[in-house]
Chain A
Amino acid sequence: MSIAQSTSVQTSVSQSSTLLQTMSAMAFGVVVLLAVGFAPMDAAHNAAHDTRHSLAFPCH
């Protein structure tokens, strides 16, 4: 009984920790993409200009 309980607690902890980790990794990717594709500063825009056009991100 107690073994079964602790196992199920471990599983849910492991699953929620997994979800947190995958979602954090996804958030990292989204932040990088927003920086490359959407950062409004002129210098960032000019550096990534051809990438933005080629990936069909809205530009100008």
Chain B
Amino acid sequence: MIFRSIITNALLLGLVTGIFLSITQQIGVTPIIFAAESFEQSEAETDTSEADVPTTTVVAEAPAQETVSVEQSAHDHSTHDHASHDHGDSHHDATDQAAVAGPAEVQSTVVQEQVDHHDDHGHSHDADAWAPEDGAERTFYTYVSNVLAAIGFAAVLLALMAQVQLQGLAQVSIGRGLLWGGAGFIALFLVPGIGLPPEIPGIEAAVIGSRQNWWLLAVVSAAAGLGVIAFAPKFYKAGGAVLLALPFLIGAPHPAGPAFIHPDPKVVESLTNLHEQFIIASGISNLLFWLLLGAACAWVLNRWPLTNSESDVVRNG
């Protein structure tokens, strides 16, 4: 029963590779997410203090991982804003801020109270929605999500490898497994990442739905394109390149304005640096994960899932 073998192996491989992915993320990637979030928190802190509302609750939410440089920038930012902003009329204050923020912000800033402003950029869409507490709980849920994602990737990869091997298109050795993993990295990270670079919290981006649609198109067409290049007859291989190029002919959705709209240029510079670090760190983490997953799937595939059915096919054919 190939289905059961693939699912069982995907669960086991997903657990192992998902934990590996989580460890690489914890070392290099999530600290950058926390640092970017602390800028969001400092922005919220400034907004609420401008509206003359006690800031204690917001301060309490600030992540423990906040670095010295972040605190320094946040302090500069609030000092700067207190010196230059008008504290009197809240409507004028909102309009003033909207002028800095750009058109996308105008509606939400004017309509909402200043106190609610930080919700626009916080990682929660709804302030009342459940979210894991920062620290161990958040790390735990990230590990669980990573393992689930790895199970999904493993199931897809094992299914494709099994089908390719059963049809006699290729024998999937561990070395070839690394190539499969590399292809997974290209299709799931590199190609969609060229159009929509990995995002840190606080970045301005196009509407979520249009980005998700483009991302799905990029992943599916890149995977299909790589499959065609690897396995189709020579005559058709050019079609693979067309598939790889297709999402870029359509074009990834991007907002018109700058990536970061924080009013303090120092913070924008820090966020830009963080974003560059994030692209490299998440790229390394994902590449290592995919190479491990590809090799592990190939190893598992040749150990037991296909032995029964493969011998059936060979005997019957």
Contact = CB atoms under 8 A, between A and B. Distances in A.
Which range holds the interface residue count of chain B? 35 or more
Interface string A15-33: 1001101111110111111
Interface in B267-317: 282, 285-286, 309, 312-313, 316-317
Interface string B202-215: 00010010011001
A54 B125 CA distance: 19
Nearest to A37: B149
B123 A46 contact: yes
Contact of A58 (B151, B162, B200, B205): B205
Contact of A29 (B123, B156, B197, B199): B156
Contact of B196 (A26, A30, A56): A56
B241 interface: no
B10 A57 contact: no
A25 B145 contact: no
A56 to B, nearest CB: 4
Given A14-B312, A47-B132, A55-B286, 8 more contacts: A22-B166, A25-B10, A29-B151, A30-B156, A33-B156, A42-B124, A43-B131, A49-B142
10 contacts: A7-B316, A10-B316, A22-B2, A31-B152, A52-B145, A53-B198, A53-B200, A54-B21, A56-B193, A60-B199
